[in-house]
Structure 1
Amino acid sequence: MPILYTNIPPLRTKNGKDNFRDKFNDYIKQADSVEIATGYVSQDALEMLDKCITDNSIDHIKLIVGMYFIEGMPENIYNTLLRMNQEWHDRGIGEIDIVCTFRYHGKCYLFSRDGSPFAGIIGSANLGAISLNAQTRRQYEVSVSIEDSASLRELQEHIKELNDKCSKVISDVPNMPLVQQENLKLKDVEHVDRINTDEIETYERHLTGPTIEIPLKVPKDHNDPKFRGSNINVCYAKGRKREWWETEIVNAKKIYELPEYPEFKKPFMVVTDDGWKFEAWTCGANNKNFYSKDDLKIMGYWLKGRLVAAGIVKPIDHVENDKDFKGLITEEMLKQYGKTTLSLTKTTQKAKNEYGDLLDVWLMSFLPKNLKED
């Protein structure tokens, strides 16, 4: 059982000794089937694994993730795993399972070819170790490689038992507890302030009137042309070039005629559920438009930034070149995120803007279900 080290100074791998990342890549190139049981995963590693599966024409892949069902799973990891699981299922090559019975902290990698395992790795390295990033460049792991048939059969049986007795396909796991990923896109943005949890709770204690649930008008999927260039997808509208982050919310009559709806062109202060504060207002024909007052991108940084942080979508630098609409927000994506509306509720409180004007304060939420406190 050769020891696999980590190539980090001052303990550089030398004298012909192997490291985990190189050995993993070497084995996966020889395999047609890969089974992995790991405690934790990372966004970078999942994207790299997905690429490895495609590049090496892997016929069968099983990924079992062990620590999150009890601890809570980061939103971006959950949504990435759901997407990958669906894609693997559609291609008929495998699935992603979640251990639901206990915290599983093992790290097992089994590589097979023509129906027989030929190599394995066990040790301290979670799946994140296959990628190079700021954390893995400074985190030392030690593992061993296995190539003898008896040990490989034992490892294969262990993974099978874990799969059969302790885990479920991620799409079948009910009420997966999620940990919200912080959206830092508004950090240091002009006209936006950061507030703490105590301030948010103070405003929450002074809510008044009913909550307005504002539907986000989006296409059902990428094939639906309706709303493709409006509302939170206004960047795809024909005409002048817009940045991907620009966002205008255009409300239906049943919303803008509500008695509790904000007054026409009367600025108010929005306090968000994740601790940001900025000015917004309603305007336009019939007072139907709702957006951030000082810059249309502010609402986008908050709203779209939440979807980016959750791993639902990636921002597009040049929308005019996005012919495949990869940056388009759809109803399918909002449902995967866990919320299809903005919740807007007035409070009895007031707050000063940067010019000293006293404004009404409204709470705005885009918080999906099943979130756990980080």
Structure 2
Amino acid sequence: MELLSSEFTPSKFGVNTFTHKWERLFGESSEVRICVGYISEESVNLLLKLVDSYPEKHLDLCIGMAQFDGLSKSQIRILGDLHTNLKTRGKGGVYIVQTFPFHGKIHMFTNTLSSLRTAILGSSNLSNIIRQEGIFRGNFEVDVYIDEASITDQLTKLCDSLVNHASVEYDHAVDGIPIINSTSMNALDEVREVQKIEPSTLEAIFRSATNIRFEIPIKTEERSSLNVYFGKGRAGNGIVRPRLWYEAALIVDKSVIQSSAGYPTFRSFWAYTDDGYRILMRTGGGNSKNLESAGDLSIFGRWIKGRMEAEGALDMGSKVTSEVLSKYGNKLLTLVKLDLQEMSPDGQQLLEVWAISFAPGKD
């Protein structure tokens, strides 16, 4: 038995984290059964990537509160994709609890070769499987890893009963699930490293704009830039971790960088977005061609892909294409230097400040 927790600075207790443990157990298991109250679109999307990467694994996902609290249209769509994927291959399915609201959080892992069965029991819903350094998910979760056979046997019986007697398969339940509106909260609103700026303050900041300006075309490469999600995953911790949906960077052409003096090459800088966020950005890579958020690459991705999602131009799990950009109404990111400097997060140096915009409907 082992205590697992979230990892929010400064509240680090020296115990293993849920996400690290979950990844290792998933990589070592041949069968996985997850019974939780709630899911997020992003976490189901990660499961889709994982079962594609490990087609031999059997996965059952049982959702306990969907029938009673409802799902968004985007959640319904991606759960349907996962269920179809699993059923087509004969490797599991998605189940919806019908009999009563189920609010538990049970993650079961079975290795059929060694007959080892383990579990994670506690407070983590499915959304906690997303590894995002620096991302604040809203709650500090505490779970327990269990390898004692007497307890895992009881949990197995509970999950069997829940799936077989209190639930129905997704395609038989979907028509009766209440549809709820997707949250209007921006994908950045729970990111600790990002500040929300009041409109009046933002307006005053933007009055410091200089004439140094760069128009950066949004590239639509198959497996890089905003589509790095479709690239090769990273190996480690006993599992090839798929790229996260919001992991993203812009690849800036040399011609754009050299189009005017003053491009922020090989440095970090503060960026104020046109919709009111303050993000720590950086440039790097060969010829300083990568434009990305500093520290956590998903922060910039949450901002730029989240805006396309909010406008209905991009579905989670789909590629950013020229058609998506046309539907969004903008194919350029604008970078304007401001006549300001602000202190770095570590308080060691003053950084340049830039305005960054990607407003919809400009084309």
Which residue in 2 is equivalent to 1:181? Answer: 182
Q: CA deviation at 1:58?
A: 4.1
Alpha-carbon distance, 1:163 to partner? 0.6
Contact residue 106 and residue 119 of structure 2 kept, 8 A = yes
Q: Shift of the alpha carbon at 1:75?
A: 1.3
**In structure 2, do the counterparts of structure 1 residues 178 and 140 end up closer, same or farther at CA, with 3 Å as the change threshold?**
same
Is the 1:128–1:136 contact (alpha carbons within 8 Å) kept by the matching residues of 2? no
Matched, 1:65 2:90: no
Residue matched to 1:316: 320
Kept after mapping to 1: 8 A contact 2:83/2:94: yes
Note closer, same or farther for the CA distance 1:30–1:182 as it changes in structure 2 (3 Å cut): closer
Matched, 1:37 2:41: no
Alpha-carbon separation, structure 1, partners of 2:109 and 2:94 = 16
TM-score, normalised to structure 1's length? 0.49
After TM superposition, give the deviation of residue 308 of structure 1 in Å: 4.6
Q: 1:303 to 1:124 in 2, by over 3 A?
A: closer
- The structure-2 alpha-carbon separation of the partners of 1:307 and 1:155, relative to structure 1 and needing over 3 Å to count, comes to farther
Q: Per the alignment, do residues 304 and 117 of structure 1 end up closer, same or farther by CA in structure 2, a change over 3 Å counting?
A: same
Whole-Å Cα distance in 2 between the matches of residues 135 and 307 of structure 1?
A: 24
How many angstroms apart in 1 are the aligned matches of 2:13 and 2:153?
A: 29
Q: Does 1:131 align with 2:135?
A: no
**Distance across 1 between alignment mates of 2:123 and 2:9:** 18
Q: How does 1:1-374 map to 2 (within 5 A)?
A: 1-14=1-14, 17-114=15-112, 116-132=115-131, 136-173=136-173, 174-181=175-182, 305-306=311-312, 308=314, 314=318, 316-319=320-323
Alpha-carbon offset, residue 162 of structure 1:
0.2
- Count of equivalent residues: 204
Gaps of 5+ in 1: 186-300, 322-326, 328-374
Name the CA shift for 1:184/1:27 in 2 (closer, same or farther; >3 Å).
closer
Q: In the alignment, which residue of structure 2 is the partner of 1:366?
A: none
**Closer, same or farther: CA 162–9 of 1 in aligned 2, 3 Å:** same
Q: Separation in 1 of the partners of 2:104 and 2:180?
A: 22
1:268-297 deviation per Cα after TM superposition (whole angstroms, max 9, x unaligned): xxxxxxxxxxxxxxxxxxxxxxxxxxxxxx
What is the alpha-carbon distance in structure 1 between the residues aligned to residue 323 and residue 37 of structure 2?
A: 38
Structure 2: segments with no counterpart, 5+ residues: 187-306, 328-363
The Cα of 1:26 is off from its aligned counterpart by 0.8
The structure number with the bigger radius of gyration is 1
Note the alpha carbon deviations across 1:153-201, whole angstroms, 9 max, x for none.
111100000011111111001422111326899xxxxxxxxxxxxxxxx
- Residue pair 1:96, 1:169 contacting (<8 A) in 2 also: yes
What is the aligned-residue RMSD (CA, Å)? 3.2
Contact 1:117–1:152 (8 Å) recurs in 2: no
- TM-score for both structures, normalised by structure 2: 0.50
The Cα shift of 1:52 comes to 2.3
Separation in 2, partners of 1:184, 1:27:
32
